[in-house]
Amino acid sequence: MKIGKVESYIHEKIEKEKLHFVLLDPDDVSPELASKLAKMSEELGVDAIMIGGSTGAEGEVLDNVVKAIKESSNLPTILFPGSHGGLSKYADALFFMSLLNSTNPFFITGAQALGAFRVKLYGLEPIPMAYLIVEPGETVGWVGDAKPIPRHKPKIAAAYALAGQYLGMRLVYLEAGSGAPSHVPNEMVKIVKSVLDVPLIVGGGIRSYEDAKEVAMAGADIIVTGTAIEKAGSLEEAEKRLRSIIKGVKEVKP
Ligand SMILES: CC(C)=CCC/C(C)=C/CC/C(C)=C/CC/C(C)=C/COP(=O)(O)OP(=O)(O)O
Ligand SMILES: O=P(O)(O)OC[C@@H](O)CO
Ligand SMILES: [Mg+2]
């Protein structure tokens, strides 16, 4: 079995440092803004750009944002699809994710089957990933028909994460939901990390130096931020926030 370029890049990098990925939602950012944010991200030390949204980032809108990002930066572009619609031939890779704690088979295997041929046709690099929604879950929890993992039940998260690894998934993503008032609890990150051999991604509600640093210290290998950068209001503010979040991530050594 061959591990693709983007996944190999992730594996090599996490040996040496904690990573920071920026998520851009084509529903919320224009190609022009995406292009500027991607360029800034590369200059400041972000490790990859994720592209997706839970309320229908697809078609031309998605393609144009991916193209704009590819033109302005050399960072790997990874699709973060809300369904089989969230695929673009212009991206490098995609998180081929299964929402393991969904109550709806569409988000566990259905969207994956409907998207599989197009992934092959577009030559996208699929990276199998267990996607787990933790309370509050926000929009993605509702859209994904999730049974969100209670914040004070880290063992449930660990059980799902380990099941994902044993099912062959090569990444686990703990998601509190975009814009969540608080990120996944540190204790949960720690316990999940302690049972896993595959890299752990944490996102949702991470918006400051302190947030990023504590989640990295708790054991996340990759920290994702979307809202903090996307909705900064100005490029100056986005830069300020990005600098402090990256500082928090990179101060923690693996
Ligand atoms: C692998 C393929 C083809 C599909 C996977 C489909 C699955 C399992 C989706 C999971 C459920 C879902 C709706 C995920 C959306 C992921 C996502 C992009 C969330 C965050 O987007 P943001 O823009 O930050 O937040 P909003 O939720 O506010 O849009
Ligand atoms: O927008 P934020 O809260 O940074 O969340 C990022 C990501 O985990 C959402 O899927
Ligand atoms: Mg969104």
Number of folded domains that form the chain: 1
Torsion angle in degrees (nearest 10) through CA of 89, 95, 100, 106: 0
What digits encode the pLDDT tens for the residues 91-128? 999 999 999 999 999 999 999 999 999 999 999 999 99
Q: What CATH code is carried by the domain that includes residue 206? A: 3.20.20.390
Question: Is the Cβ atom of 25 under 6 angstroms away from ligand 1?
Answer: yes
Question: Is the Cβ atom of 178 under 6 angstroms away from ligand 2?
Answer: yes
| Confidence tier at 53 by pLDDT (50, 70, 90) | confident
Bin 135: left if φ > 0, else alpha if -120 < ψ < 50, else beta. Answer: beta
List the beta bridge partners of residue 129. Answer: 97, 171
User: Relative to the alpha carbon of 205, which ligand is closest?
Assistant: 2
Say what percent of the chain tops pLDDT 70. Answer: 100
CB < 8 Å & 24+ apart, contacts of 150-155: 151/184, 151/185, 151/188, 152/185, 154/185, 154/187, 154/188, 154/190, 154/191, 154/192, 155/191
Domain holding 221, by residue range, is 5-250
75 is in an annotated binding site: no
pLDDT score at 221: 98
pLDDT score at 162: 98
Taking the alpha carbons of 253, 225, 236, 93 in that order, is the dihedral positive or negative? positive
Integer angstrom CA distances of residue 36 from 17, 94, 107, 134, 227: 25, 22, 32, 31, 16
| Confidence tier at 55 by pLDDT (50, 70, 90) | confident
Strand (E) or helix (H) holding 78? strand 77-79
Examine the predicted complex and report whether its ipTM is higher than 0.85.
Answer: yes
* Token pair in block for residue 224: 């994702």
pLDDT score at 1: 81
Nearest residue (by CA) to ligand 1, atom 22, is 53
Taking the alpha carbons of 246, 249, 251, 253 in that order, is the dihedral positive or negative? negative
Q: What is the mean pLDDT of the chain?
A: 97
